[in-house]
Amino acid sequence: MARTNLDMDVLRTLVTAQQLGGFNRAADHIGRSQSAVSQQIRKLEEQVGETLFQKQGRALVLTPAGETLLAYARRILDLNDEAVSAMRDSAIAGVVRFGLPADFAEAWLPTALGRFKRSHPAVKIEVIVDRNRLLLERLDRGELDLILSLGNGTRPDSEKLTTLSFEWIGPAGADPVWTEGEPVPLAVYEAPCFFRQRALDTFDRAGISWRIAFTSPSLSGLWAAVEAGLGITLRTAIGLPSGVRVLTGDTRLPPVQAAALEVCLHDGGRAMEPSLSRLRSIIAGTLMENIPISR
């Protein structure tokens, strides 16, 4: 029986369409017409003998078969890209120093660094996990080469990747953290912190009493306090541990009247060595796979 060879370009189109939320955006991203992208997907459906997308209202969503193929497509493309990088960049060496907030460190950093290390084994990676302000200071002092940050899109060296909304976060359990009429207990970072300040400003504008019940210098300490029911906090929904959840639908909490947070890469405006350029590409690509990209 003849084996079927899936077209790599079509698999990449499938992944891109899912990442960007539709064929229109995928077509713009890869420089093809929408009809050409649709034809690629139909060709892929013929090859595998399954329908990959179905209508849900006005949107197209993956079928169960589409979800299965998407997972394989990502693995196939990862191996392809790693192989190409390894052949092209095998001579690249040196040291790259990368910084990022704790929000992202556990969610997808191991995947990104694993990809980079496999394709660039001669490059040493130094990673710093810290708060946004401190990362930017270290970048500007030349102590870091590249950082990922939240909420600093106005810097001239910013490359915006996506945006994230503010969310009220509480314990995963059903026990109430506070009762009606009491000041809302908050678990926050030490000042200065824009999440902390945004939470206080939001409650003040809504005329709701609050009290700081727990202060932490680290995100792990913050999550431990929230999980224990000591207070709620304001963060994004990225990298939430199992013991906490987004407090969707809690009418006691005021909406955060603020623009979404920009997730950006920063290089300090300095020229990039090939090794750092490759790390930047892998970080951006891995983030794109794990977080819905906003345009």
Segment 20-31, tens digit of pLDDT: 766 777 677 667
Q: Please count the other Cβ atoms lying within 10 Å of the Cβ belonging to residue 27.
A: 21
- Identify the three-state secondary structure at position 162: strand
Whether residues 56 and 124 share a domain: the answer is no
Domain contains 104: yes
Domain contains 228: yes
Whether residues 54 and 184 share a domain: the answer is no
Q: pTM for the whole thing?
A: 0.65
pLDDT score at 142: 92
- DSSP state at residue 232: B
Which residue in this structure is represented by tokens 């359990």?
A: 173
Specify which of 33-42, 65-74, 80-89, 207-216 reaches the highest per-range mean pLDDT. 207-216
Show which of 33, 65, 87 is a domain's final residue.
87
Structure tokens at 16: 């891109």
Specify which of 108-117, 265-274, 283-292 reaches the highest per-range mean pLDDT. 265-274
Whether residues 81 and 108 share a domain: the answer is no
Structure tokens at 115: 């990809």
Q: Please count the other Cβ atoms lying within 10 Å of the Cβ belonging to residue 194.
A: 18
User: Among 82-86, 128-132, 221-225, which is the least confidently predicted range?
Assistant: 82-86
Whether residues 276 and 132 share a domain: the answer is yes
Query: How many residues are listed for the chain in this entry?
Result: 295
Whether residues 236 and 272 share a domain: the answer is no
Residue 98, domain CATH: 3.40.190.10
Whether residues 185 and 232 share a domain: the answer is yes
Whether residues 181 and 241 share a domain: the answer is yes
Task: Give the residue among 99, 247, 256, 254 at the shortest CA–CA distance from 164.
Answer: 256
pLDDT score at 293: 46
Task: Give the residue among 170, 163, 165 at the shortest CA–CA distance from 246.
Answer: 170
For residues 162-175, give the mean pLDDT: 88
Task: Give the residue among 35, 18, 268 at the shortest CA–CA distance from 145.
Answer: 268
Show which of 87, 118, 136 is a domain's final residue.
87
pLDDT score at 258: 67
Residue predicted with more confidence, 2 or 37: 37
Whether the per-residue pLDDT at 148 is higher than 80: the answer is: yes
Whether residues 53 and 174 share a domain: the answer is no
Q: Please count the other Cβ atoms lying within 10 Å of the Cβ belonging to residue 97.
A: 19
Distance CA 140, CA 269 (A): 9
Determine the structural domain holding residue 174 and report its residue range. Answer: 167-246
CA distance readout (Å), 200 to 102, 210, 247: 22, 8, 17
Domain contains 214: yes
- Identify the three-state secondary structure at position 199: helix
User: Among 100-104, 139-143, 202-206, 226-230, which is the least confidently predicted range?
Assistant: 100-104
Whether residues 226 and 178 share a domain: the answer is yes
For residues 215-235, give the mean pLDDT: 93
Domain contains 256: no
Tally the domains of the chain: 3
Task: Give the residue among 147, 169, 160 at the shortest CA–CA distance from 99.
Answer: 147
Residue 63, domain CATH: 1.10.10.10
Whether residues 191 and 122 share a domain: the answer is no
Which residue in this structure is represented by tokens 């796979």?
A: 289
H/E element holding 282? helix 274-290
* String of DSSP letters for 101-147: -HHHHTTTHHHHHHHHHHH-TTEEEEEEE--HHHHHHHHHTTS-SEE
User: Among 7-16, 24-33, 241-250, 286-295, which is the least confidently predicted range?
Assistant: 286-295
Distance CA 172, CA 162 (A): 27
Whether residues 79 and 122 share a domain: the answer is no
Strands 261-266, 158-164: pairing is antiparallel
pLDDT score at 79: 81
Whether residues 68 and 201 share a domain: the answer is no
Mean pLDDT of the chain: 83
Distance CA 152, CA 143 (A): 19
Phi, psi dihedral angles at 138 (to 5 degrees): -70, -35
